[in-house]
Amino acid sequence: MSLDWVADAMKKTVPWVTTAGVEFVEVTPTRVTCSLPDPEPHRNHVGGPHAAVIFGLAETASGALALAAFSAEMARATPLVVRSEIHYRKLALGPLTATAVLTRPATEVTAELDAGTRPEFTVDCTIHNAEGTPTTEMTVTWTLKPHKPR
């Protein structure tokens, strides 16, 4: 099943994605890879992408993964970020790539939603520079918030 629609949906519903220039390289229900160019206005005082830009790239990849993994649940629940933890390991310079990976099977999360709970799931993100060197790691914890009955 093609998930090309995820990139289009992200660009239409999250204006920052288009403004920043995020591109979607790979989208599957368990893994998303996004890339980001290196325009000068994104840079910080040491010439690398600002920390907010790096965070935004990883959060965007994790959000696209949440949408890809749980698209069948969107009629009854909304994915929301609960918390994030980021570790800047090496100075990031140049264009970046973020890869987001679902840390447990979507079927487990959906089963919790089916049982009437508000499930949480984590997405691990690794940001690489153009040479493929990991520069940043981030974990994003998401929830599927059930819609209120009308």
Q: Where are the domains of the chain?
A: 4-146
pTM: 0.94
Least confident range from 17-21, 31-35, 36-40, 78-82: namely 36-40
**48 band by pLDDT with thresholds 50, 70 and 90:** confident
The CA-based angle 114-112-56, given to 5 degrees, is 115
Closest CA to 60 of 43, 35, 87: 35
pLDDT of residue 46: 86
> Residue 22: which of 109, 110, 76, 100 has the closest Cα?
100
Residue closest to 70 by CA, chosen among 116, 120, 22: 120
Q: Say how far apart CA 95 and CA 149 lie, in whole Å.
A: 44
Specify the fold of 4-146.
Thiol Ester Dehydrase; Chain A (3.10.129)
Which of the four pLDDT bands, split at 50, 70 and 90, describes residue 138?
A: very high
Mean pLDDT of 111-138: 97
CA distances in angstroms from 131 to 28, 94, 96, 126, listed in the order given: 24, 9, 9, 14
What per-residue confidence (pLDDT) applies to 3?
84
Q: pLDDT over 90 for what percent of the chain?
A: 86
- pLDDT for res 1: 59
DSSP structure class, residue 71: G
State the distance between the two ends of the chain, measured CA to CA, in whole angstroms. 32
Three-state secondary-structure class, residue 38: coil
